[in-house]
Structure formats: structure tokens, C-alpha cells
């Protein structure tokens, strides 16, 4: 099922004076979610230890990294197709939810059941709890079939976004195989994952790697507290060929965007309200990044929009959609500082 999106002014031009990039209306982005979920969001007034907790259902939606990215790409005025696995009764529900939402998607059937995840929002404390099971177990043949189908789905998409965890049964280097096949198909891979799946992909190299502070510390083997710590990691990722562009997010500080020309510190804007959840911030940021890259914008400007959108996403419970007006207002408040790579000076 396909849907056409009307570009929003937030992506129609650059507010930093870098030029008028075209909208992403004519360019489709493919996202990959190997371990999707049906996200159930419930709300309680106060979470009681004893007795029943009466809850109301806030939302039921298809979820998982790549699916969330595809949803936000469309919200930002781009076009996206979500490629994902689906199995069992929950898998059928996942497909139906995507159809009802109008998200273009391609499902690969698996034997095991797609997972359900629970987001519990406590209204009294305004705290959110994201409870996520590990998900299904895939057979080796299901992994191979998914790879083959993914390559067929790429078509003329210039960017593929692989986001989220891997289900059990797939090897740690599965994303490395994805990167290789995507490169052979003439597309660029944007990767946002964690743990062994992340480390397994570094040997192959990707176009853009986004990691949060937790993932950065796991790779660096030490705390990543500030931009200097992030720069050391990003330099390592670039020099080893793990990524052409490295983006490390630092929570309330912002993000560091590193290319072969140097490192740009992007400072998170002040929030106009109380942060409620960071569950959707990463997917929102990646969606903004790839939407603007597909529209021809430079990585730093694309990342600046990503920082603003991630900040807006923190003002919503769980993975609920960010407010476009808030994201638009925050974009103009993202400050940047460029530090040239001394190895490139004079080139």
C-alpha cells in the first residue's frame, strides 16, 4: 500500500543559510526492521504495587526502529517504504496497522511470532516505562530470504536505513552482509543499532553510523561524557573505514557529526517543556537526517534538523509523534561549532 506525503515547511529549505535544498518528495527511502513489534501504549494515573492498575489504551501502533523511521520520514515530508519481517497473529496485526496508517511496506513472512512491546505511561509522575521482549527466533534460511528480498526492494532508493535490534538466530554480522548487498545494489546504508549487531557491522563499513552515548561507550570501552570523548570515537570510526559519516548523540548536550573534513558540534536547544521520554528521539533523529540527505542537503545541516526533531520527540510520551511546530521552532536554536580535521588542513 502506498501513500503520498505533502512536504512540510520544516524540510523545505535550510534555516542556516546553507542553500535551498529540494524537498524529498520525489525520493523514496527504504527502511529495514528485522525485529519489529506491535507497540501497546497504556496509561495509568499511579502505578500501584498491590492491587489492580486500571489503565487506558493510549495507542496501538506498528513499531520497531526502521518502521518508526519510515513513519517520521513521511511526517517530515519525505517518502519511505518500510521493509520488515512479520510472523504469526501479531505479524498479521502489524501488517494491518501499517496498512491502516498508510505506510508503504514490504513484509517477509517468518515462522515465529512477531513480538509485542508495552509502553506504560504513569500520568501522575509523568514517567514512561518501555518493556520490550527479545522477539522471535529466525532460521538461517529466513535470514537469507530476507536479504534477497531486501535487495529486490531497494530499486532506485538512494538510502537504506537499517535500525533496531536483530532477532535471535541471525548472526552478529548480519548487518555487515546487509551493508555489502546494499553497496552492490548502488545504495547507501545508514545504520542505527547496538550491541553485537553494531560491532559485527563495523568490519564492512557503512555510509552513516548513528550511535547514542550508551553505544558509544560500549565501542570505546570507556565513558563518553562530552564532545571531546565523542570526537575520539568518531575519528576512530572514520579512520578504520567503519563509516564515512559518524554521528554520536550525547543526550542533553546534543550531537557530534564527523566527516572526512572535520567535526561539527551541534548543541541541543533548550526544551520548552518537561522531557517525558527519550524512547522515540533516536528514530526521529535518523529520520530527519536521511530525509534531508535524500533531498541533497549536507550532513551537518541534516544533523541539525535531526537534533531539533529529537528534542521535540522528548516532549512526547513513549514513541508518539513529535510536534512539527515545536521541531520547527527548535531547529533555529541549534547552535553549531566546526572543528577542522588537522589531517585535512591544506588539502
Q: How confident is the model at residue 342 (pLDDT cuts 50, 70, 90)?
A: low
- pLDDT per position as a tens digit, 296-314: 999 999 999 999 999 999 9
Dihedral of the CA atoms 183, 281, 36, 131 (nearest 10)?
150
170 vs 166: CA distance, rounded Å: 7
Cell of 280: 522515540
Phi and psi, residue 230, nearest 5° = -65, -35
Which residues on adjacent β-strands are paired with residue 323? none
Taking a C-beta distance cutoff of 8 angstroms, is the pair 303, 336 a contact?
A: no
Q: Which secondary structure element, helix H or strand E, spans residue 87, and what is its range?
A: none
Please state, rounded to an integer, the average pLDDT across all residues of the chain. Answer: 89
pLDDT at 98 over 70: yes
Which of 60, 49, 44 lies closest to 123 in space, CA to CA?
44
Q: Answer yes or no: 229 catalytic.
A: no
Return the sign of the alpha-carbon dihedral for residues 299, 305, 308, 312.
negative
Q: Domain spans of the chain?
A: 24-36+63-114+137-344
CATH of 24-36+63-114+137-344, one of 3.40.50.2300, 3.40.1190.20, 3.30.310.50, 3.40.50.1820: 3.40.1190.20
CA atoms within 13 A on the CB side of 146: 29
Dihedral of the CA atoms 27, 9, 324, 230 (nearest 10)?
70
Burial of 80 (0-12, 13-18, 19+ CB in 10 A): buried
Find the range with the poorest average confidence among 27-36, 39-48, 111-120, 313-322.
Answer: 313-322
- pLDDT per position as a tens digit, 115-155: 999 989 898 888 888 899 999 999 999 999 999 999 999 99
Q: Which of 172, 283, 325, 341 is catalytic?
A: 283
Q: Which secondary structure element, helix H or strand E, spans residue 108, and what is its range?
A: strand 104-109
Instruction: Supply the pLDDT for residue 57.
Output: 93
Return the sign of the alpha-carbon dihedral for residues 331, 224, 261, 29.
negative
Find the range with the poorest average confidence among 24-33, 75-84, 107-116, 171-180.
Answer: 24-33
- List all residues 6 or more positions away from 35 whose beta carbon is below 8 Å from its beta carbon: 64, 85, 115, 135, 136, 164, 165, 166, 167
pLDDT at 206 over 70: yes
Which of 133, 219, 209 lies closest to 168 in space, CA to CA?
133
Calculate what percentage of the chain has a pLDDT beyond 90.
Answer: 78
- List all residues 6 or more positions away from 61 whose beta carbon is below 8 Å from its beta carbon: 38, 39, 41, 97, 101, 319
Q: What is the mean pLDDT of residues 45-49?
A: 91
Instruction: Supply the pLDDT for residue 17.
Output: 32
Amino acid at each position: 500500500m502506498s501513500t503520498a506525503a505533502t512536504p512540510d515547511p520544516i524540510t523545505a529549505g535550510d534555516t542556516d543559510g546553507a542553500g535551498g535544498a529540494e524537498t524529498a518528495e520525489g525520493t523514496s527511502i527504504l527502511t529495514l526492521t528485522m525485529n519489529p513489534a506491535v507497540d501497546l501504549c497504556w496509561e495509568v494515573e499511579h502505578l500501584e504495587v498491590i492491587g489492580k492498575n486500571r489503565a487506558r489504551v493510549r495507542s496501538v501502533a506498528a513499531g520497531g526502529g526502521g518502521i518508526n523511521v519510515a513513519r517520521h520520514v513521511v511526517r517530515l515530508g519525505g517518502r519511505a517504504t518500510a521493509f520488515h519481517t512479520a510472523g504469526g497473529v501479531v505479524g498479521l496485526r502489524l501488517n494491518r496497522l501499517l496498512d491502516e496508517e498508510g505506510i508503504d511496506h514490504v513484509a517477509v513472512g517468518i515462522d515465529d511470532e512477531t513480538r509485542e512491546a508495552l509502553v506504560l505511561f504513569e500520568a501522575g509522575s509523568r514517567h514512561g516505562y518501555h518493556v520490550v521482549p527479545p522477539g522471535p527466533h529466525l532460521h538461517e534460511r529466513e535470514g537469507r530470504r530476507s536479504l534477497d528480498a531486501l535487495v529486490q526492494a531497494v530499486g532506485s532508493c538512494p538510502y537504506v536505513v537499517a535500525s533496531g535490534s536483530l532477532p535471535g538466530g541471525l548472526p552478529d554480522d548480519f548487518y555487515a552482509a546487509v551493508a555489502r548487498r546494499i553497496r552492490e545494489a548502488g545504495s547507501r546504508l545508514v545504520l542505527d543499532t547496538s550491541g553485537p549487531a553494531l560491532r559485527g557491522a563495523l568490519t564492512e563499513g557503512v555510509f552513516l553510523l548513528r550511535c547514542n552515548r550508551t553505544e558509544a561507550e560500549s565501542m570505546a570501552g570507556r565513558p563518553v561524557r562530552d564532545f571531546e570523548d565523542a570526537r575520539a570515537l568518531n575519528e576512530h570510526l572514520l579512520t578504520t573505514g567503519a563509516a564515512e559519516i559518524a554521528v554520536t548523540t550525547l543526550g542533553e548536550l546534543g550531537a557530534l557529526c564527523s566527516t572526512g573534513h572535520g567535526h561539527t558540534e551541534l548543541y541541543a536547544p533548550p526544551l520548552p517543556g518537561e522531557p517525558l521520554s527519550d524512547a522515540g528521539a533516536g528514530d526521529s533523529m535518523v529520520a530527519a537526517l536521511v530525509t534531508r540527505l535524500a533531498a541533497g542537503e549536507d550532513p551537518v545541516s541534516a544533523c541539525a534538523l535531526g537534533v531539533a526533531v529529537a528534542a521535540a520527540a522528548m516532549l512526547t510520551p513513549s514513541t508518539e509523534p513529535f510536534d512539527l511546530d515545536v521541531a520547527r521552532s527548535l531547529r533555529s536554536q541549534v547552535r553549531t561549532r566546526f572543528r577542522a580535521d588537522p589531517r585535512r588542513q591544506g588539502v
